[in-house]
Copies of this chain bind each other. A is one copy, B any other.
Amino acid sequence: MNPYIKRIKDLSYKLDLEIHAELEKVFVDKKFSKGAHLLRPGQVCTAHLLIKEGIARKFYLHNHKEITTEIYFHDDVAVSLDSYIMQKPGDVYVEALTELEVTIIDYGRFGKVKNTYPEVMMLDKMFIEYYAVWFEQRLREFQTLDASQRYLKLLEKEPQIVQFLPVTIIASYLNVSLETLSRIRAKVSSE
């Protein structure tokens, strides 16, 4: 398991029952159907979205082209970071790629629990740390790897993405054209 995730889980197991009970009150489960938008540009991101079941992605539009920034599976948390932190309108979509079940963690209500219990604040901080390091690593991949290497790394690190999703989305996640991705796949599988 990713050491950052492990750290978060370890701490959350240690929380006492009272805190757990308070957190439970903040959680609200909700279902979305395939293709639904859980968040759109212009909206303020007022919640963390914890994925319980299904697949989702975050993307933004650039010159009418969709650029996928993250793909979420079970236990991942979807959030438009800038919009959430500043509570200002964002510019991304969060979209259900399959039938989806999520736990919604409301900004305001979670904030209250956070301010009451330092452990919860710590948990929140660890989440941001994970996010920051994840982004730093992803940036490095763009700086150091060419298209095929990025694909191979994805295949290795997140085979579920390659297995379950159409090339259009994988290509936009790798920041290559779908034709190029198709050629990369042809080459890789012929080897």
- Spell out A's residues near B (CB within 8 Å): 3-4, 60, 62, 67, 69, 81-82, 85-86, 115, 118, 121-122, 124-125, 128-129, 131-133, 135-136, 138-140, 142-144, 175
Contacts and interface: CB of A to CB of B under 8 A. Distances in A.
Q: Interface residues of A: mostly helix, strand, loop or mixed?
A: helix
B121 A132 contact: no
21 contacts: A3-B86, A4-B85, A62-B144, A67-B143, A81-B129, A81-B136, A82-B133, A115-B118, A118-B118, A121-B121, A124-B125, A125-B128, A128-B128, A128-B129, A128-B132, A135-B135, A135-B139, A138-B139, A139-B142, A142-B143, A142-B175
Nearest to A118: B118
A170 to B, nearest CB: 15
A62 B128 contact: no
A43 B105 CA distance: 38
